[in-house]
């Protein structure tokens, strides 16, 4: 037993540190020349991706995240600027995208095409960099298979289309950085253009969005662990004073980043870390399979198989174990070793794990655009592991292994294509989208360009309308638009300034148009409810606009006040005032249908009675309470509901965890 253990340990060490060849010289050296067939294949894959990402380019509708930069790119005042140059468009989002789009909007104006087509082309660059990266480490054939897998990845395709997050520049700069770091590791010199380019890419990525620091930390740590021998060799001969200066510079840069990032981050509750791991893992599965976008975009989301998410990592582990097992039985010194592929695989897995842990420890992270940062590290590791396993076999067996791996890849691609097709079918029906994602926002902008000329101001009552309209409408109309949803959302009849807020909202001398979603499509139902309550207190100063195109009326409601308004504002104790909504908590669907996959999902909706902060705790099978969500209202998704378990969600008032406002019990139907 001891002898076998020693042999196995030696085989792993030999696999990682082959003394007869450098790690960067694989068995089959990557082809340096690009043949015409290879170029046409890559071009075909890029064209296929472009077709997928631009299909029905107006659907879903323009969303707030992809519109944040438009104001800065069109010359309006950004969040932060210097000497008239936009620097920040949000507290943690830089103006890099606004810089890129400034000439585009100057030439083509603001539209769904001019907003979305450039990010699709940038993602084509990301695919090209991924192809070159895999080609450099494996072979052109494996690079083609990897790129094909990325082309049909629903999370990548759909989130590229709407640049949700935003994520497109992040993915491009991440791919560029990975390629340049690999190129730098191949060079014997410490200082090179590759290192300078990788450093610049990291800096631009952090400037684009602060959470790029997740990738920077993961890259730095994984590279030190896996490629320390190469880095140490580069440092040989470098003056010690220079090495010390480099170390000090790295520490200073890290301290500066922490100084910027830490004020934006709240430490998570330790008791919720285990629950966060489950939630982020489920979210990763939903994102990889396309379930996240389907659930958030469509009123009736399709059933999408979730196994492609975890299958990639399961296949990676299987290929690695098989490769080590085969190598253990053939540990001879003449046995070919692909240590380059193995180290590349471990490098990607370490970065994946480091980013995942950082997402778990960041309480503000919890959307599909966050877990997309894990892409394509999982696929890179999987293809490297498959390549390693195939080349540990004898030549005769490689053909069989390659055939079987190809069949597995085709099954995976077929499932991902099914997810894409489920999205595409709903793209043809504008009524299938939730209000905040409705493509009819462009039709609403056209309506305002005609009818908005006769009003003094246009107030957006609900979230997810103002940014889009301000960008899409004509400049003179856009200047009238005011995003007032926070005012309506936070208003309460019990507040001392409630009467003053009503008077300030409905000024008789101002002819105003108020825009909100219908009740079915509302993002913040309480904002719409408070608006109607305030309007009632104002003597119905704003009258519903009835001459609205039917397509618009399905999603939006418009009210007009000012000229022609009748009635004086009523006192707060008037009988016409609506009573505040009672505190409530519900789950939809409940019970969760059996469906496919081990885990089901439901959406928890809640609201406190007075608009104050509340906390939702979950109890699983009668166990201890763990914090699920907080805020004056929901919704929040629970994508980890399993059969044979009972989940009780409890809504508490405030943050003292004393006053229980309501509860709902969620179960999942058995197959």
Q: Is the pLDDT of residue 399 over 60?
A: yes
Residue 538 pLDDT level (bands cut at 50, 70, 90) = confident
Which of 13, 24, 270, 297 lies closest to 162, judged by CA?
297
* Cβ neighbours around 46 below 10 Å, total: 19
Judged by DSSP in three states, 556 sits in strand
* pLDDT average, residue stretch 239-263: 74
Give the CA-trace dihedral at 387, 393, 398, 402, to 10 degrees.
Answer: -40
Range list of H helices, 481-619: 485-490, 498-505, 525-537, 550-553
In DSSP terms, 86 is beta-bridged to 81
Q: Is the pLDDT of residue 625 over 70?
A: yes
For residue 323, the model assigns a pLDDT of 85
To the nearest 10 degrees (0 to 180), the angle between helices 339-361 and 112-137 is 140
Q: Is the pLDDT of residue 28 over 50?
A: no
Show the domains of the chain with their CATH numbers.
2-422 (no CATH), 440-561 (no CATH), 584-666 (2.60.40.10)
Q: Is the pLDDT of residue 228 over 60?
A: yes
Which of 626, 603, 629 lies closest to 616, judged by CA?
629
For residue 581, the model assigns a pLDDT of 52
For residue 154, the model assigns a pLDDT of 94
Higher-scoring residue by pLDDT: 519, 101? 101
Pairing of strands 556-561, 512-517: antiparallel
Most confident of 50-59, 504-513, 565-574: 50-59
Q: Is the pLDDT of residue 175 over 80?
A: yes
For residue 537, the model assigns a pLDDT of 86
For residue 610, the model assigns a pLDDT of 63
Q: Is the pLDDT of residue 424 over 90?
A: yes
Question: For residues 331 and 479, what is the distance between their CA atoms, to the nearest angstrom?
Answer: 73
* Tokens read off for 148: 């094909």
Q: Is the pLDDT of residue 188 over 60?
A: yes
* pLDDT average, residue stretch 383-403: 87
* pLDDT average, residue stretch 188-211: 90
Measured CA to CA in angstroms, residue 616 lies from 7, 485, 583, 590, 664 at distances of 54, 24, 12, 17, 11
**How many contiguous H segments (helices) and E segments (strands) does the chain have?**
26, 15
* Tokens read off for 4: 């076998």
- The string of pLDDT tens digits covering residues 435-448 is 889 999 999 999 99
* pLDDT average, residue stretch 108-115: 92
For residue 270, the model assigns a pLDDT of 57
The whole-angstrom distance between residue 130's C-alpha and the CA centroid of its chain comes to: 19
Query: Tokens 């008239």 appear where?
Result: 84
- The string of pLDDT tens digits covering residues 586-613 is 888 888 887 766 788 888 888 876 666 7
Contacts of 326 (CB under 8 A, 6+ apart): 389, 392, 393
- % of residues, the chain, pLDDT over 70: 87
Which of 628, 627, 587, 579 lies closest to 606, judged by CA?
587
* pLDDT average, residue stretch 275-296: 88
Pairing of strands 625-631, 614-620: antiparallel
Question: For residues 211 and 365, what is the distance between their CA atoms, to the nearest angstrom?
Answer: 9
83: left (phi over 0), alpha (psi -120 to 50) or beta: left
Contacts of 151 (CB under 8 A, 6+ apart): 45, 48, 49, 52, 127, 157
- The string of pLDDT tens digits covering residues 300-339 is 888 888 888 889 999 999 998 888 887 766 654 334 446 7
Higher-scoring residue by pLDDT: 273, 42? 42
Question: For residues 42 and 49, what is the distance between their CA atoms, to the nearest angstrom?
Answer: 11
Q: Is the pLDDT of residue 30 over 80?
A: no
* Cβ neighbours around 188 below 10 Å, total: 9
Phi then psi dihedrals of residue 639, to 5 deg: -95, 25
Query: Mean pLDDT in the chain?
Result: 83
Judged by DSSP in three states, 86 sits in strand
For residue 332, the model assigns a pLDDT of 45
Residue 19 pLDDT level (bands cut at 50, 70, 90) = very low
For residue 671, the model assigns a pLDDT of 67
Question: For residues 251 and 245, what is the distance between their CA atoms, to the nearest angstrom?
Answer: 10
Residue 16 pLDDT level (bands cut at 50, 70, 90) = very low
For residue 8, the model assigns a pLDDT of 43
Residue 245 pLDDT level (bands cut at 50, 70, 90) = confident
Question: For residues 243 and 534, what is the distance between their CA atoms, to the nearest angstrom?
Answer: 66
Q: In what order do the strands lie in the sheet with 512-517?
A: 481-483, 457-460, 512-517, 556-561, 543-544
With 0-12 CB in 10 A as exposed, 13-18 as middle and 19+ as buried, what is 459?
buried
Maximal C-alpha separation, the chain: 95
Q: Is the pLDDT of residue 571 over 70?
A: no
Pairing of strands 93-94, 600-607: unpaired
- The string of pLDDT tens digits covering residues 340-375 is 888 999 999 999 999 998 888 887 788 888 999 999
- % of residues, the chain, pLDDT over 90: 35
Question: For residues 428 and 509, what is the distance between their CA atoms, to the nearest angstrom?
Answer: 43
In DSSP terms, 629 is beta-bridged to 616
């Amino acid at each position: 037993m001891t002898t076998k253990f020693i042999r196995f340990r030696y085989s792993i060490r030999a696999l990682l540190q082959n003394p007869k060849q450098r790690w960067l010289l694989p068995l089959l050296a990557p082809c340096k020349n690009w043949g015409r067939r290879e170029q046409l294949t890559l071009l075909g894959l890029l064209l296929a991706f472009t077709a997928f990402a631009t299909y029905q380019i107006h659907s879903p509708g323009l969303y707030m995240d992809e519109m944040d930069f438009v104001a800065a790119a069109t010359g309006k005042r950004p969040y932060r600027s210097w000497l008239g140059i936009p620097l920040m468009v949000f507290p943690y989002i830089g103006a890099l995208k606004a810089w890129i789009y400034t000439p585009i909007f100057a030439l083509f104006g603001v539209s769904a095409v001019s907003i979305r087509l450039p990010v699709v082309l940038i993602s084509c660059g990301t695919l090209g960099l991924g192809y070159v990266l895999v080609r450099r480490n494996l072979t052109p054939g494996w690079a083609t298979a990897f790129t094909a897998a990325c082309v049909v990845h629903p999370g990548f395709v759909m989130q590229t289309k709407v640049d949700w997050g935003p994520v497109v520049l992040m993915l491009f700069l991440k791919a560029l950085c990975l390629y340049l770091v690999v190129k730098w590791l191949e060079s014997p010199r410490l200082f090179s253009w590759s290192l300078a380019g990788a450093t610049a890419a990291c800096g631009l990525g952090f400037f684009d969005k602060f959470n790029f620091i997740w990738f920077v930390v993961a890259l730095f740590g994984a590279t030190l662990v896996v490629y320390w021998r190469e880095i140490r060799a580069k440092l040989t001969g470098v003056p010690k004073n220079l090495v010390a200066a480099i170390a000090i510079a790295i520490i200073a840069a890290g301290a500066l980043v922490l100084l910027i990032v830490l004020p934006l981050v709240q430490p998570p509750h330790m008791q919720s870390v285990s629950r966060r791991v489950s939630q982020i893992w489920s979210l990763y599965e939903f994102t990889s399979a396309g379930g996240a976008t389907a659930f958030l975009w469509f009123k009736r989301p399709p059933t999408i198989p979730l196994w492609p998410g975890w299958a990639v990592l399961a296949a990676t582990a299987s290929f690695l174990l098989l490769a080590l097992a085969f190598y253990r039985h053939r540990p001879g010194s003449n046995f070919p070793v692909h240590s380059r592929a193995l180290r590349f695989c471990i490098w990607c897995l370490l970065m994946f794990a480091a980013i995942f842990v950082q997402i778990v420890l960041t309480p503000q992270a919890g959307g599909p655009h966050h877990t997309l940062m894990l892409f394509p590290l999982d696929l890179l590791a999987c293809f490297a592991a498959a390549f390693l396993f195939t080349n540990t076999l004898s030549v005769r067996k490689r053909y069989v292994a390659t055939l079987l791996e190809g069949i597995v890849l085709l099954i995976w691609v077929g499932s991902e294509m099914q997810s894409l097709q489920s999205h595409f079918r709903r793209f043809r029906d504008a009524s299938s989208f939730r209000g905040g994602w409705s493509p009819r926002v462009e039709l609403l902008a056209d309506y305002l360009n005609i009818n908005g000329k006769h009003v003094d101001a246009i107030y957006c009552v609900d979230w997810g309308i103002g940014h889009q309209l301000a960008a899409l409408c004509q400049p003179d109309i856009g200047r009238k638009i005011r995003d007032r949803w926070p005012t309506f959302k936070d208003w309460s009849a019990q507040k001392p300034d409630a009467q003053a807020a009503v008077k300030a909202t409905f000024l008789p001398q101002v002819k105003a148009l108020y825009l909100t979603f219908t009740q079915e499509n509302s993002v913040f139902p309480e904002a719409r409810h408070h608006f109607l309550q305030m309007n009632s207190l104002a003597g119905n100063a704003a009258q519903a606009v009835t001459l609205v195109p039917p397509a618009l009326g399905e999603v939006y409601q418009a009210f007009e006040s000012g000229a022609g308004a009748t009635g004086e504002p009523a006192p707060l104790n008037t009988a016409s005032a609506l009573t505040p909504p009672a505190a409530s908590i519900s789950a939809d669907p409940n019970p969760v249908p059996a469906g496919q996959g081990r885990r089901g999902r439901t959406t928890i909706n809640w609201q406190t009675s007075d608009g104050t902060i509340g906390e939702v705790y979950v109890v699983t099978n009668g166990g201890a309470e763990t914090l699920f969500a907080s805020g004056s209202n929901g919704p929040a998704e629970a994508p980890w509901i399993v059969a044979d378990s009972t989940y009780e969600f409890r809504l508490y008032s405030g943050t003292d965890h004393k006053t229980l406002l309501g509860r709902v019990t969620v179960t999942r139907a058995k197959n």
